[in-house]
Structures are given as structure tokens and as C-alpha cells.
Copies of this chain bind each other. A is one copy, B any other.
Amino acid sequence: MNYADRLEEAVRRAANPCLVGLDPHPANLPEEFAVVRDPAAPRAAKAQAAADFLCAILEVCAGKVPAVKPQSAFFEIYGADGALAWERVVATARRAGLIVIGDVKRGDIDTTAKAYAHAFLEGSGPADRAHLCDAITINPYLGSDSILPFLDSCKQAGAGIYVLVRTSNKDSKLIQDHGTPPVYERVADSVVAWGKELVGARGLSSVGAVVGATHPAELTALRTRMPTTPFLIPGYGAQGAGAADIAGGFLRGGRGALVNSSRGILFASKQPAYRELHWKDAAARAIDAMALEINAAVGFES
């Protein structure tokens, strides 16, 4: 089934467009997982603790949000042990009915891109599917031929991709703003073209775009420019953008976009409002508060 249709169905079921970013930054993990901060601890123990924490977070997410976004880097710090942890977290999320968007930002030429597509979206054999992502993020710097192998995954495996168009960090301007029109508009137009044949029954494509919430005017302009493209919007919460900033990224009825929050959910118990709660309850409350705020701002219709 087309990725965009599956995602829309998941958003409808959860009744909100919130995406929980799974970035288990060692510095922020609750005290019971402090082994991740012990320089002398074996790497396997750290990776396992990070996965244990995230699997507990996934119990909170199940039924509450449509999708989660594990961040590859925070697993790769544990090498092969981290790769095992990644697979466990991804498989647990999928079993819980959550859409999994692997935040891997890969990008490379032809056969190499195909290998990444196999690694994350297609699997290397029939017994090798449990840990696959529903979608991944892709870096477009290498151009169209680096994207094509992933479009095959979208067509053949019902996968999705989110191409980096406009990122939420401060120095994104170096490349993304360069030229007239700027690079990010050129990439935006390419994303629409790449996704043309992958528009599903609900009018959205399996080829999405990452568009930061920290540039609200551009977000609105890109929404108009890319009417059938699902957006993944980072930057909400810890990175500074509020619900009003992200509204322009949505289509009518609160459709067509996911808003990511990572630290704001995972480490909610560090916020004054939730300090009295267990970290798991704090995460649940933070998700509820985020969903309420986002749904109101984007006019979500269930």
C-alpha cells in the first residue's frame, strides 16, 4: 500500500499529526539509564540501556501518535551494538502499529544509493524485514540520480522518503539559500517531480520533504509550491518554533504534515510543568499537550 495513504490513515487513527523523534542523547537519559554516561561501561550495556529507554517511550507513543522518528546517529555511537539496538527499537515500534521514519539522511550515487534503499526500506532477503523503516530521510546534495533508487523502493515496497529541502538549523543558508531562485526552491520543485507518480488515493505522494518550522514564511510558501508533498516539520519545541509557526505547513483540515518533537517529549520530565511526574508519565502528558496545541493551530479535523 502507498506510504502516503498508510500515513494518512495512521494520522486519522491517532487523531493528531505529531511525530516523536527518538534521539536518545546520553546526556539527557533518566537516571535509571545512567550507564550510558559511564565512560567505563561496556558499549553493549549502553546501547541496551538506550534501547530500553526508547522501548518504554514507544509504549507511551502507541495509539497516541501516528509515527516515530529514530535518529540514526544516536545509535551509531554504539557501533554494532547500536545497530542491534536500532533494529530492536524499529521492530518494537512497528509491532506497536507506529509508522517508523528512519532519520538517516543518507545520499549517495547509483549502486550505493540502491544499497541504502535495501538497508532501510527493502531488506536484503525475505527473513530480513522486521527492522525495516516505513520511510527514511534523504540528503539531495548529489542530485537526481542519487534519489532514483529510493523512488524504486517507494514503488515496489510501498516505502516513503523525505528529502531535505529546508532544514531548521541556523546555518542552513550556506547552500540552501544560495542563488536566485534559492537552492531550496529548486530542490522543492524536484521533490514534486520525483513524487508525481507516487501520489496515492488520498492525493499525497510518498515522496515527502523536510521543511523546518524555524522559517515560517518559507514553510507557507513551500506548502503552496508543493501541494501534494507530505511535509516532515522539525524545529518545534526545543528548537524554538511554536504551533503558530508550523500551521502554514499544513493542508486544509490539518492534513499533509507531521510535526516532530524529540527532546520535548523524551525528556519532558526535565520541564518545570512535569517535574513531579515519572519520566514516562511526563512524556505522555507532553504528547497530549503537543497534540492539543498542534491540532488547534492547524485546524485538525478527525
Residue numbers of A with Cβ under 8 A of B are 23, 25, 39-43, 46, 71, 73-74, 76-80, 82-84, 86-87, 105-113, 115-116, 118-120, 124-128, 131, 139-146, 164, 167-176, 178-180, 183, 186-187, 190
Instruction: Write 17 A-B pairs (CB below 8 A) sorted by A numbering.
Output: A23-B112, A43-B128, A71-B115, A73-B113, A79-B83, A80-B80, A82-B83, A105-B106, A109-B167, A109-B169, A143-B173, A143-B176, A144-B171, A146-B171, A174-B190, A175-B187, A183-B183
* Chain B residues, Cβ within 8 Å of A179: 178-180, 183
Contacts of A23 in B (CB 8 A): 111-112
| A141 & B139 in contact (Cβ 8 Å cutoff) | yes
Q: Within 8 Å CB of A169, what residues of B?
A: 109-110, 142-143, 145-146
Taking each of A41, A73, A74, A183, which has the highest tally of chain B beta carbons within 10 Å of its own beta carbon?
A73
Query: Considering the chains assembled together, what is the distance between the CA atoms of A42 and B127 in angstroms?
Result: 8
Cα-based distance from A23 to B178 in the complex (angstroms): 33
A119 to B74, CA, bound (A): 9
Tell me if A125 and B176 are in contact (CB < 8 A).
Answer: no
